């Protein structure tokens, strides 16, 4: 059985991001109404910045109890939290610092620690936040895709099945050379809702391969997108070039 899949194409990156912000808020409302809390894992990279900004602008009018919103990260670079490459830093600057006080509950990866220690602590954080679950079930994971088909910090050259008993792992990435901590495939695919926000012409090639029907399961993003849960792709016209001009 597979869940609902949607591919939506927007006229601009800003419009795709605005839809992402709307979906974030509706997923939050539904989770708060039904389960009393909303758990979300945010992507890093530059693509989500317009989404974060849009969400920050709407937050004061959203009538959400932000104290019941638990924010995690799908991955983090092993740098201190105020480093320009830190995914936490990016989300704080564009979104988290702008939420109505007292804001959301933050569960960041301690990127300033040794990568193995940071992954171990993040796994403990996940266990505490999802105590009854064998695998954490996020209400929403927000993902991007790299032009090589990676998502979070799961890269094509990695044997993803090797991590299947783990919730988060430390990985070393050759391009760009960096140590990172990432959620694993079972955690990402178990989320109730998965949103890929992918914009820009530089992503058209990989989008064609992943969504073009040839089932390129070699790409980590394609493996996450094969989740049995609700998967939405929000693309701008540049990234969706092959769909409009196959
Ligand atoms: C990260 C990510 C990563 C990102 C893609 C796309 O920490 O870099 O979470 O998976 O989503 O690399 O990055 P851009 O949005 O910068 O293109």
Position 169 confidence tier, pLDDT thresholds 50, 70, 90: very high
The CA distance from 147 to 141, in Å, is: 19
pLDDT in tens, 97-137: 999 988 999 999 999 999 999 999 999 999 999 998 899 99
36: CA distance to ligand 1 center in Å?
30
Q: What is the pLDDT of residues 173-194, one digit of tens each?
A: 988 789 999 999 999 999 999 9
pLDDT band, very low/low/confident/very high, at 3 (cuts 50, 70, 90): confident
Which of the pair, 243 or 145, is modelled with greater confidence?
Answer: 145
Q: Could you say which architecture CATH assigns to the domain 5-241?
A: 3-Layer(aba) Sandwich (3.40)
Q: What percent of the chain has pLDDT over 70?
A: 97
Task: Give 47 Cα–ligand 1 centroid separation in angstroms.
Answer: 7
pLDDT higher than threshold 80 for residue 214: no
pTM given for the model: 0.96
In this prediction, residue 213 carries a pLDDT of 67
Length of the chain: 246
What are the pocket residues of ligand 1 if the criterion is a CB atom closer than 6 Å to any ligand atom?
43-47, 74-75, 87, 144, 146, 150-152
Pocket mutation for ligand 1, best pick of 13, 16, 40, 43 (most atoms within 8 Å of C-beta): 43
What's the 17 CA to ligand 1 centre distance in angstroms?
15
Q: Closest ligand 1 atom to the C-alpha of 47?
A: 15
Which residue carries 């954080």 as its tokens? Answer: 125
Beta bridge partners of 230: 193
| Predicted pLDDT of residue 138 | 98
Residue range 2-16: mean pLDDT, rounded: 93
Quote the ligand 1 centre to 34 CA distance (angstroms): 31
Mean pLDDT for all residues in the chain = 95
């Amino acid at each position: 059985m597979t869940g609902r899949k949607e591919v939506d194409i927007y006229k601009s990156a800003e419009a795709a991001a605005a839809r992402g912000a709307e979906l974030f808020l509706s997923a939050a409302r539904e989770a708060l109404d039904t389960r009393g809390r909303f758990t979300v894992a945010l992507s890093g990279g530059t693509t989500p910045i317009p989404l974060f900004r849009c969400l920050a602008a709407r937050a004061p009018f959203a009538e959400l109890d932000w104290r019941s919103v638990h924010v995690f990260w799908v991955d983090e670079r092993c740098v201190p939290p105020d480093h320009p490459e830190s995914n936490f830093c990016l989300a704080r600057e564009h979104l988290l610092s702008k939420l109505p006080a007292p804001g959301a509950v933050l569960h960041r990866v301690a990127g300033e620690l040794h990568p193995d220690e940071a992954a171990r602590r993040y796994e403990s954080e996940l266990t505490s936040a999802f105590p009854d679950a064998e695998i954490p079930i996020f209400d929403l994971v927000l993902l991007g895709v790299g032009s090589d088909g990676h998502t979070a910090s799961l890269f094509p050259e990695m044997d993803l099945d090797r991590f299947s008993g783990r919730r988060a792992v430390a990985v070393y990435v050759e391009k760009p050379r960096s140590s990172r901590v990432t959620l694993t495939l079972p955690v990402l695919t178990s989320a109730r809702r998965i949103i890929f926000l992918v914009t820009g012409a530089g992503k058209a090639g990989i989008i064609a391969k992943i969504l073009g029907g040839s089932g390129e399961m070699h790409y980590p993003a394609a493996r996450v997108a094969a989740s049995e849960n609700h998967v939405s792709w929000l693309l701008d016209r540049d990234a969706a070039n092959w769909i409009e001009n196959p």
